[in-house]
Chains A and B, each alone.
Chain A
């Protein structure tokens, strides 16, 4: 703000231009901040609105309920917007909705208490499954070769590699 207190008598025009330029800069900055905040608010509204269900019984996510005149979703959207505008954090907003509409308003189980099991089980199943498949592959690898009928000679080493190369050549080229 140094330019605002300059005492150079020859500089009023310059000062005026600087003032306008700086006011302009401040306005642009404020506009950018508000735009950014707006975008952030929109993103939060969209995010939170997709983490809750509409309570009208349609079984749809709050922001996807498309019933014109749906009393529940209109009211809930307004409440959500008001809570965001008030500056409440996400947890507080969700808690407020749970208190008013019950736990089924949240579109997915929370990661606390018994509900944590809902999230853990699929990944546990995947982990156990992977371990089991790897164990199975190892166990099957250790099985003895099945006995062959008399007269059949299994090619090995270089001979097997030659056959592989020949087959590859005839199917690849």
Chain B
């Protein structure tokens, strides 16, 4: 099996090299022979997908067959590992995850090469660029991180097992989502670089890649949030974001990708910011590579990094090389990207996009800077310093709040120019509503003047409310217009409104989701926690809740032994649920792992929902009693609900419009003025 897998990888590399070489040669000519050569390159790219699928299938099959002669399977699986995790073995270690990267890229390339008739020349350029990236990953797989390398010595009877941290249902979907995001940005990157090299006229490449970019962004968003949820549900510290280098690495391309999704509208609508958009998509691709590099190289220690090796040099060289190519063509063809459109006012949609991009990039720069500052410090001062949560919270949070302000105000601004009168009219209700939210927080006892974290929480609440009220106001305003013209009820009118301009209203739904995420985060300063050694009948009081220990027990299964405690949770005299946090001891690896139990109190607290989060930390060896840590985390469930709404909004934005928006006017005018804006 290992030999077939190795052969498949070598074949895939050969096919990629051919796809790249022949594709590149074919681009220099426009005769029939060049076209035929280009076609063979395209087919080689498609065949490469088949070879990588075969290699991946063999690795997964080896995991299911407990083939411990393959070193990768020996180190990442064992006989008693459940089936889903045996499948997840593919991305659980370095070699496998690089193969998975290659598989996804080949998959994206496969789809792209099948759809080549959309624009043969541009697709040929994109295909060559994708092949070059594919060569890089397949070269590492063949020469540096071979997934089919054989285990030396006698055949081991069982594997050492999968890292216990990875034995959690989300690990079956979190890495694929994140990687679909990372890898997916190769596609808009390839189109952008191809369009730049061939001096592609117009903005058609943006239209071609728009859905690719949105799908990719959506995957990355889900990947980032699932990573946060995994940290919350598995690591047992009661938090979901620790500004860990690998978390940061996933956030950076998300930030630049988000900036690109906004600024690309300027290019589509006004033909502006062409250089900027190219730079953004290049940066997003490079940051995706950087994210993979940080996760896989071990250059920076992280709770999310499950591999450490010498492949860092490969990545540094490739990142440097690809960046150099991008900069070269950007400088060479700069004149092609010149835009001549005029900006009319600082108070316009265009300006809001500029500031939105600025703030997103400043947050991205802050994260990049903070992530690499320890290395810089070691070079300069001879010793490392820690750049942890206090730094990021103090620097990135204020900028993120400004960004929220723009998220609220931006959609109210019209393209070209916004009159103060229209701004006042559209802004009045959301502004009053959000200030009321701030005052209510103070009335309920939050004192923003007492502590910076309370101040930030209050500001975040005000700005989130502003975003939510703005979105609601936009839907209501548009819905009323359609309801007035079509005699539909308001809900049906808003639905029709959305279907007429899915991109604009899908975007608003995403903004709504973002505001919910921020609401979920702002509860952090109000978290409570109690740690206690518990016996039968012992109680922990946590805010309005009481946890009563009912029992503690031990159990055993072929994969792990487990200790757990059972609690009844009361609110006042009323029993609301039973919780059973666990601590597992995995037999193959001999490592322990806590599995917290989380209960979101929607039924009791509705909008001001709390997560009751109970961790079985271990056992006091002297008394034999469990040590329990209980957290009360206000508002956290809104983060995950916000994510679902963001995904829903993205899907809406990808649906084609049902019909164009038609406004009858007495005579033709050149300029469209929307009540709020356009999209």
Residues of A within 8 A of B (CB): 50-51, 53, 57-61, 64-66, 68-69, 102-110, 113-115, 118-119, 121-123, 125-126, 129-130, 132-134, 136-137, 140-141, 143-146, 152, 154-155, 160, 163-164, 166-168, 170-173
Q: Say whether A103 contacts B669, CB under 8 Å.
A: no
Question: Which A residues are in CB contact (< 8 Å) with B629?
Answer: 66
Nearest A residue to B666, CB-CB: A166
Whole-angstrom CA separation of A125 from B360 in the bound complex: 12
Nearest-neighbor residue (CB-CB) of B348 within chain A: A137
User: Which of B340, B351, B366, B388 has a CB less than 8 Å from the CB of A61?
Assistant: B388
Pick the residue among B395, B477, B615 that contacts A123 (CB under 8 A): B395
On whether the beta carbons of B303 and A137 are closer than 8 Å, the reply is no
In the complex, are the beta carbons of A163 and B385 less than 8 A apart? Answer: no
B242 contacts A60, C-beta separation under 8 Å: yes
- Of A103, A121, A146, which contacts B342 at CB under 8 A? A146
B370 touching A118, Cβ below 8 Å: yes
**A104-B385, A104-B386, A121-B369 known; A173 vs B481 contact (CB < 8 Å):** yes
B388 touches A108 (CB 8 A): yes
Say whether B395 contacts A107, CB under 8 Å.
Answer: no
Interface pair A137/B343, CB less than 8 Å apart: yes
Q: Out of B370, B380, B394, B396, which one reaches A114, CB within 8 Å?
A: B380
A172–B391 CB distance below 8 A: no
Q: Which residue of A lies closest to B383 (CB)?
A: A103
B354 lies within 8 A of A109 (CB): no
Residues in A neighbouring B481, C-beta threshold 8 A: 170-173
B366 touches A68 (CB 8 A): no
Across the interface, which residues of B come within 8 angstroms of A115, CB to CB? 377, 385
Chain B residues with CB under 8 A of A167: 663, 665, 669, 672-674
Top 9 A-B pairs, shortest CB-CB distance: A68-B618, A140-B343, A107-B388, A108-B391, A108-B390, A122-B366, A68-B617, A143-B342, A167-B673
Taking a contact as CB atoms under 8 Å apart, the answer to whether B346 and A155 are in contact is no
Instruction: For the complex, give the distance between the alpha carbons of A98 and B422 in Å.
Output: 57
The reply on B239 being an interface residue by CB < 8 A is yes
Give the distance to chain A from B490, nearest Cβ to Cβ, in Å. 14
B255 CB, nearest partner CB in chain A, Å: 13
Answer yes or no: B373 CB below 8 A from chain A CBs: yes
Whether the Cβ atoms of B672 and A118 lie closer than 8 Å is no
Q: Could you mark each residue 263-281 of chain B with 1 if its beta carbon is under 8 Å from any beta carbon of chain A, else 0? A: 0000000001000000000
A143:B341 contact, CB within 8 angstroms: yes
Q: Does B542 contact A (CB under 8 A)?
A: no
In the complex the two chains form, is B386's CB within 8 Å of A107's CB? yes
A91 to chain B, nearest CB (A): 16
A53 touches B369 (CB 8 A): no
Whether the Cβ atoms of A59 and B627 lie closer than 8 Å is: no
Q: Which listed residue (A58, A64, A109) contacts B391, Cβ 8 A? A: A109
A170 to B664, CA, bound (A): 8
With beta carbons under 8 angstroms apart, the residue of B354, B362, B594, B617 that contacts A126 is: B362
Q: Which residue of A lies closest to B478 (CB)?
A: A171
Q: Does B236 contact A (CB under 8 A)?
A: yes
Residues of A contacting B370 with CB < 8 Å? 118
Instruction: Type the 1/0 row for B382-424, where 1 means its CB is closer than 8 Å to any CB of A.
Output: 0111111111001110010000000000000000000000100
Q: Which residues of B contact A173 (CB under 8 A)?
A: 480-481, 484
Residues of A within 8 A of B351 (CB): 133, 137
A-B contact sample (5 more), CB < 8 A, given A53-B388, A137-B354, A141-B344: A66-B235, A122-B369, A129-B362, A143-B341, A166-B665
B554 at the interface (CB under 8 A from A): no
Query: B664 touching A118 by the CB < 8 A rule?
Result: no
Taking the complex as formed, is B302 at the interface, i.e. its CB lies under 8 A from any CB of chain A?
Answer: yes
What is the bound-complex CA distance between A140 and B627, given in angstroms?
64
Please tell me if B80 contacts chain A, counting CB pairs below 8 Å. no
Q: How far is the CA of A145 from the CA of B236 in the complex (A)?
A: 60
Q: 27 A-B Cβ contacts within 8 A?
A: A61-B388, A66-B236, A69-B618, A103-B385, A104-B386, A108-B386, A109-B385, A115-B385, A121-B369, A122-B399, A125-B366, A126-B358, A126-B362, A134-B346, A137-B346, A140-B341, A141-B342, A141-B344, A141-B345, A146-B340, A152-B670, A154-B670, A166-B666, A167-B672, A171-B663, A172-B675, A173-B480
